[in-house]
Structure 1
Amino acid sequence: MDVSFVKTPEIQQLLDRAAGVNESGGNPRFKAIMRDLFQSIMELIVRHDISESEFWLAMKFLADGAGEIGLIVPGTGIEHFLDLYMDAKDAEAGLTGGTPRTIEGPLYVAGAPLVEGNVNLSTDPDEGTQVLHMTGAVTGPDGEPVQNAILHVWHANSQGWYSHFDPTGEQTPFNNRRRIKLGADGRYAFHSHQPSGYSVPPQGATDQLMQALGRHGNRPAHVHFFIEAPGYRTLTTQINFGDDPFAADDFAFGTREGLLPVPNRQGDAAYIAFDFQLQRAHDAADEGFSARSRAEAQPAVENA
């Protein structure tokens, strides 16, 4: 049997009813999206002759793996696809340049201390790690310093754990997380205990999926950023350490050209100089964050 079965009147009527196409209530765009989704699933079942048992095993995987959806989405390339799609829409609109966007990941926490100056991100000790020193400037499309910018930065510790998500419970709140208020020159500087790469939770849903695909679940050492400023488009990006073994083979597809600086390692220190370039906002929505659900903790106040 081929997918033409899905085009039969009986199945098409089923799709219309399931999506509420002929109902007066509801959202028309949402109905169209859901109808297309339902039809795609039905066509997938026919094309690959998916059995009833296989279907319900897939539903069980999705239900059991709901807690790892923030890893499954980047691991399947969908989050990177969203970046590529937004890039293509920008290019179509004639918007080019600026630091590349890349995946956010699931581990941002709102409410980090807002600080100024050369900031120490690390509250906790992390023995045996190099100290990462990162400096640079935030400019606009014409090279102008971006004033009143806030740079959100967060990364893992040397064990690959993020504060607020560390199963050992050993990290204090907002360890390796800060919001940095930049001055009129648009320059930033911070130092911290260098992060390590990590893998997805062993035997978890994402690990099971990667094994079934014959893939690994490793991420290189990296640092995440949001940069927001009045009049500019908020940037979501991250840098992967260019000398990490997984720098060019990130399971989450976070690696992008222009986001792979190689640290200058000197003794117990590692230095990265990296400049960010923002695009101008075209409306208020450009200055905001996406509607993605994010963790939030009690705001903290701290001196630099």
Structure 2
Amino acid sequence: MTEDFVASAPVQALLDRASGVDAQGGDKRLKAITRDLVEAVMKTIVRHEVSESEFWAAIHYFQNGAAEFGLIVPGVGLEHFMDLLMDARDAEAGRTGGTPRTIEGPLYVAGAPLVEGDVNLTDDADDTGTLFMSGTIKGPDGAPVEGAILHVWHANSQGWYSHFDPTREQTPFNNRRRIRIGSDGRYAFHSKMPNGYSVPPQGATDRLMQGLGRHGNRPAHVHFFVEAPGYRTLTTQINFGDDPFAADDFAFATRDGLLPVPNRQGDTATIAFDFELQKADVASDEGFSSRIRAAA
């Protein structure tokens, strides 16, 4: 059987009906996207001679793994693909410069405390060293950005994030803050050192990675949103350049320009890192994507 089977009249008629192309009402864009997605799945089934048992096993996998979609999506490269696509669209539009974007990941929580000055992110005791990170938020002309808010979040030394920690030992918003930036554009924070982590053992993502002959490990990293009036909101993260998984992040978040090597002295590490924002062309550039995020 070849993929020409999908082009047959009965299958094409099925696609039209299933996607609502022949129905009144509904959203035309959603209909077109649904039709293309379902047709692509059909072609894949024919191309690889997927059996009925394999088909239902896949459906069962996704049903049971729904809670890990936030890990599966970056693990198969789709979240990084969106970054590459947005980069390409920027290039086509003549947008250049700025700190590279990279994946948000599924573990942001809205509503972190809004603070100022040299900020301590960590509320809980942790058996690890201390990270010191500082720098300047600048515009494309190199001038400091006024009125910025820097959202920061990272894991603890065990690789767990507050609000998502299965041990339930972390206090709310541990290692999470929003930092109000002054007119000089400077930020500074310190926290207990984050470590890299792996996806949940034997979970849906781990089983998929094993089936693909891959691992599910991430290097130590720190996540950021940077927002400021008149500028595009930046979603990014820095990965520790000396981490063993810095060059092999299962989530494809490591990018050139986002791999600072910490200056380690005993049990402390210092990172100097500047953010460069792009000017917003329209008001919507200043906001966040409509991704559904956790809120406390």
User: What is the CA distance between 1:102 and its match in structure 2?
Assistant: 0.2
User: What is the CA distance between 1:224 and its match in structure 2?
Assistant: 0.1
Query: What does the per-residue CA deviation read over 1:80-130, in whole Å, with 9 as the maximum and x for residues that have no partner?
Result: 000000000000000011000000000000010000000000000112x11
What is the rounded CA distance, in whole Å, between the counterparts of 2:47 and 2:207 in structure 1? 24
Which AA in structure 1 matches 2:34? M
Q: 2:175 — aligned with what?
A: 176
What is the rounded CA distance, in whole Å, between the counterparts of 1:38 and 1:222 in structure 2? 37
Q: 1:47 — aligned with what?
A: 47
Q: 1:200 — aligned with what?
A: 199
Which AA in structure 2 matches 1:228? E
The unaligned stretches of length 5 or more in structure 1 are 298-304
Query: What does the per-residue CA deviation read over 1:34-85, in whole Å, with 9 as the maximum and x for residues that have no partner?
Result: 0001110110010000011100000000000000000000000000000000
Which AA in structure 1 matches 2:219? P
**What TM-score, normalized to structure 2?**
0.99
What is the rounded CA distance, in whole Å, between the counterparts of 2:266 and 2:32 in structure 1? 59
Which AA in structure 1 matches 2:92? E
Q: 2:141 — aligned with what?
A: 142
Q: 1:288 — aligned with what?
A: 287
1:276 aligned onto 2:275: yes
Which AA in structure 1 matches 2:79? E
Query: What does the per-residue CA deviation read over 1:151-189, in whole Å, with 9 as the maximum and x for residues that have no partner?
Result: 000000000000011111110000000000000011100
Q: 1:13 — aligned with what?
A: 13
5 Å-filtered alignment, 1:124-139, equals 124-127=124-127, 129-139=128-138
1:80 aligned onto 2:80: yes
Q: 2:152 — aligned with what?
A: 153
Q: How many residues align?
A: 296
What is the rounded CA distance, in whole Å, between the counterparts of 2:2 and 2:114 in structure 1? 58
Which AA in structure 1 matches 2:199? V
Q: 2:227 — aligned with what?
A: 228
5 Å-filtered alignment, 1:104-115, equals 104-115=104-115
Identity over aligned pairs, percent: 74
Measured on the aligned residues, the alpha-carbon RMSD in Å equals 0.5
User: What is the CA distance between 1:284 and its match in structure 2?
Assistant: 1.2
Q: 1:246 — aligned with what?
A: 245
What is the rounded CA distance, in whole Å, between the counterparts of 2:280 and 2:201 in structure 1? 41
Task: Point out 4+ residue stretches in structure 1 off by more than 6 angstroms.
Answer: none
What is the rounded CA distance, in whole Å, between the counterparts of 2:289 and 2:87 in structure 1? 16
What is the rounded CA distance, in whole Å, between the counterparts of 1:30 and 1:268 in structure 2? 53
Which AA in structure 2 matches 1:278? L
What is the rounded CA distance, in whole Å, between the counterparts of 1:11 and 1:170 in structure 2? 54
Query: What does the per-residue CA deviation read over 1:205-258, in whole Å, with 9 as the maximum and x for residues that have no partner?
Result: 000000000000000000000000000000000000000000010000000000
Which AA in structure 1 matches 2:108? Y
Which AA in structure 1 matches 2:214? R
Q: 2:163 — aligned with what?
A: 164
What is the rounded CA distance, in whole Å, between the counterparts of 1:225 and 1:103 in structure 2? 10
User: What is the CA distance between 1:268 and its match in structure 2?
Assistant: 2.1
Which AA in structure 2 matches 1:78? L
1:25 aligned onto 2:44: no
What is the rounded CA distance, in whole Å, between the counterparts of 1:31 and 1:267 in structure 2? 59
User: What is the CA distance between 1:139 and its match in structure 2?
Assistant: 0.4
What is the rounded CA distance, in whole Å, between the counterparts of 1:56 and 1:141 in structure 2? 51
What is the rounded CA distance, in whole Å, between the counterparts of 1:60 and 1:284 in structure 2? 42
Q: 2:120 — aligned with what?
A: 120
What is the rounded CA distance, in whole Å, between the counterparts of 2:223 and 2:138 in structure 1? 18
Q: 1:302 — aligned with what?
A: none
What is the rounded CA distance, in whole Å, between the counterparts of 2:14 and 2:165 in structure 1? 46
Which AA in structure 2 matches 1:93? A
Which AA in structure 1 matches 2:146? Q
What is the rounded CA distance, in whole Å, between the counterparts of 1:157 and 1:33 in structure 2? 40
1:213 aligned onto 2:212: yes
**What TM-score, normalized to structure 1?**
0.97
